[in-house]
Every structure is written in structure tokens, then in C-alpha cells.
Chain A
Amino acid sequence: ETGVTQTPRHLVMGMTNKKSLKCEQHLGHNAMYWYKQSAKKPLELMFVYNFKEQTENNSVPSRFSPECPNSSHLFLHLHTLQPEDSALYLCASSQDRRQGREQYFGPGTRLTVT
């Protein structure tokens, strides 16, 4: 595996379910990001981790909970989501936060909340 991988690629969940999205980067980077991509809207930065420490939380509702156990793995835990949370969730990494200009994205998880 190379680059940034994300699993699952597609996820359908009910509003009362609990699920997790996984991201793994094989680039030796130290910063990882979660973005939300909705149709015809700019990518929305959700969370940033730099050297496993969360450095940014862009006013994301608490029903989204990130976890970064090491510099290569990033999770997004989901619970009691709303239909408006349906979107493509993208993970990205960069060498470190100082080099955050060049971010490498995974293919995303297409989330549908029913």
C-alpha cells in the first residue's frame, strides 16, 4: 500500500449507530487531517493532528470524535449522526504542520446517514 488509504470506502449508517472511519498514511508524514467534502462546497477542515497531538478542532460537533494513536493512523469515530452529516470524508497527511501546504489526500469514505 502506498500513499494515504481510507477504510471503508462506503458506509451507510442509521442515526443511532456507532461507526469508525480509518485512515492510514504510508508516507512517513507527521501531520494528519480530516476534511468533510459536500457537493458544490469547499472542503471543510475538521481536525488536525501534528505529531499525534490535536492542534485544531474547527467547531466540529461532538458526535464526531477523532483519534490519532500514532503518526501513521487516524480515526474518526461517529455516533448519533444526522442526515446532514452525509458527505465524503477525506483524510490527508503532510510532512508536518509547518509543511502543511502540500497535503496528500486519501480516496475518502462516502458516508450516508439514514
Chain B
Amino acid sequence: QQQVKQSPQSLIVQKGGISIINCAYENTAFDYFPWYQQFPGKGPALLIAIRPDVSEKKEGRFTISFNKSAKQFSLHIMDSQPGDSATYFCAASSGPGSARQLTFGSGTQLTVLP
């Protein structure tokens, strides 16, 4: 199974609140889990990433939590700001060196209200 399932499809959060986006996967061969942020009219940009030997990674207000046994990982945005309003994609990477590729979730449209 190469699919990565992402939820929710859309999320509305008040300014200052916590935004949480969840992803689940089946393929245990995945060994790298990035999150991408996409603003309207722009391509996705790498936001933060984690490897499965780590349970949590934090960069500023963004934190990835990773549960290897449950095959789930999530993005937490603390103190959410209107400027965080964007579409967020989780992804997972697998494959031997020459065939490595990313499998993306379907995206979550985040709106942070002022």
C-alpha cells in the first residue's frame, strides 16, 4: 500500500489556537515523513520533516508527532496565525536510492481566523 491518508480535509482555527492535522500510512517501508505548506498560487514548500526513529520534532511553532506502532504522524501548529492559512500536505518517502519517491496525502486546507 502506497497510500497516505490525511485528515481533516479542512480546518478552521481561531488565532492563537492549536491546529492539528493527522496522517496515517500502511507501508512500513516508508522512512521519511515531510510536511509541505502550499499558499495559493505557489508550489508546495517543505515545512518540516521527521524520520521514524524519532517520536517528535519541533521547529518554532511547528511540531511533528510520530507514532511508529500506530503508523500515524501529525502536524501541530501552536499559536496559529492568519499567515498560517494555507494547504498542508503530509507525505512519506520510500524506495531504494534510485527509485525513491514521495507519496502525498490529499491535503488539509487550514484557515486561521483573526
Contact = CB atoms under 8 A, between A and B. Distances in A.
Interface of A: 4, 6, 40-43, 45, 48, 50, 55-56, 90-92, 97-98, 100-108
Interface residues of B, number: 25
A48 B95 CA distance: 14
A103 B4 contact: no
Contact of A100 (B42, B102, B104): B102
Interface of B: 4, 9, 32, 34, 36, 41-46, 49, 89, 93, 97-107
A97 B98 contact: yes
B50 to A, nearest CB: 11
Contacts of A56: 99, 101
A42 to B, nearest CB: 4
A52 B42 CA distance: 25
